[in-house]
A and B are shown apart, each in its own frame.
Chain A
C-alpha cells in the first residue's frame, strides 16, 4: 500500500509542477516542443513502478543520465574530429606558406632571381608520406635592370607548360632555359623532388 501511495504522490506532484511550469513558458513556437517533452516525462513517471518490477538494477533517472552522457560523448567526439580536421587544414596551409617563403628566399639570395609566385603541391593525406612535396611551379620575374636580355631571347619556348597550366599563357611566360635548369637542379637536390616535377617559368615585363 505504501508503494501505491508513493506512486500516486509522485504522479500528482509532477503534474502540479508541470502545470506551474506551463505558466512560466514563454509564448513562443517552442511551446509545443516543450509540451511534448513534458508529456514524455509524465509517461515515464507513470511507468516507473512497472520499470521497478521488471528490472531492479537501473532506475529511470540512471537511464536518462546514461543516455544523456552518451549523447554528450557523441557530440564531443564530433567536435574533436572537426577540430582535428580544421587543424590539419591549417597545418598544411602554414607548412605551404613556410615552404614558399623558404624557397623564395633561396632563389632570391642564392640564385639571384626575383620570384613572382610559387605554387607547391604536397601530400595532404595523413600517411607516412605526409608533407612530401609532389610538385613545384615557380614563376620568376624578368629583371629589367639586369643586362642579359639577349639571354632571354635565346630561350626555347616550351609549349608543354601552356598545356599544363593555362594561366601561364596570360602571363606571357616562357620556359627559362639556363636559370631554370639551375633552379631545378638546386631544388631537386635540396627538397628531394624529381626534376620533371619542378616547373620554372619567367614572367615578362612587357
Chain B
C-alpha cells in the first residue's frame, strides 16, 4: 500500500521541518519543497497509468480526443498551479502564491476560449 509510504514520508518530513525550523527556518522550506516533489512524483506515475487506461477507453468508444486532452490539460494546470502556490504560501510569500494562482486561472481560461468559440459557432449555425 503506497499510502503508508506517502504518509510516512510526510510525517518524517514534518518532524524534520519542525526540528530544523527553530534553528534555520530557510532549510525548513527546502524540506517541504522536496517532500512535496517526492509525493507529487510518486502519485503522478500512478496517475499516468490511469490516464493511459482512460485514453484506451476513449479510443474504443470513438470519442473525440480533443475532449479528453482538454479536460486533462486543465486538471494538470490546476494541479501544478496549486502545488506551486501552496509552496509559496508555506514560505510566507502570499503575494507570489496569488500571482501563480492568477496565472493558472488565465491559462485555464485560454484553454476555454477555443471551446467557447466553437460552441458559439455551432449555436449560430443552428439558428436559421
Contact = CB atoms under 8 A, between A and B. Distances in A.
Contacts of A43: 119
A51 B122 contact: yes
> Which among B109, B111, B122, B126 has the greatest number of chain A C-beta atoms within 10 A?
B122
B119 A44 contact: yes
B78 interface: yes
A59 interface: yes
Interface string A3-37: 00010011001100110110011101111011011
> Which among B58, B68, B70, B118 has the greatest number of chain A C-beta atoms within 10 A?
B118
A33 B109 CA distance: 8
A111 interface: no
Contact of A41 (B58, B115, B125): B115
A159 interface: no
B112 A37 contact: yes
A61 interface: yes
Interface in B29-73: 47, 54, 57-58, 61-68, 70-72
Contacts of B85: 28
Given A37-B70, A55-B125, A65-B66, A44 B115 contact: yes
A60 B63 CA distance: 11
Size bracket, chain B contacts: 35 or more
A206 to B, nearest CB: 50
B78 A28 contact: yes
A55 B113 CA distance: 22
Contacts of A29: 101, 105
B54 to A, nearest CB: 7
Contact of A63 (B57, B81, B105, B118): B118
A118 B121 CA distance: 60
A65 B68 CA distance: 13
B121 to A, nearest CB: 6
Contact of B71 (A18, A51, A70): A18
B66 A61 contact: yes
A64 B118 contact: yes
Nearest to A22: B75
Nearest to A42: B67
B20 interface: no
Nearest to A41: B67
Given A21-B71, A43-B119, A50-B122, A61 B64 contact: yes
B3 interface: no
Contacts of B111: 37
Interface of A: 6, 9-10, 13-14, 17-18, 20-21, 24-26, 28-31, 33-34, 36-38, 40-41, 43-45, 47, 50-51, 54-55, 59-61, 63-68, 70-71
Q: Lowest 3 CB-CB distances: which A-B pairs, in order?
A: A67-B114, A63-B118, A26-B82
Given A37-B74, A40-B119, A44-B119, 10 more contacts: A24-B75, A28-B78, A29-B105, A33-B105, A34-B75, A37-B70, A41-B67, A44-B118, A47-B126, A59-B64
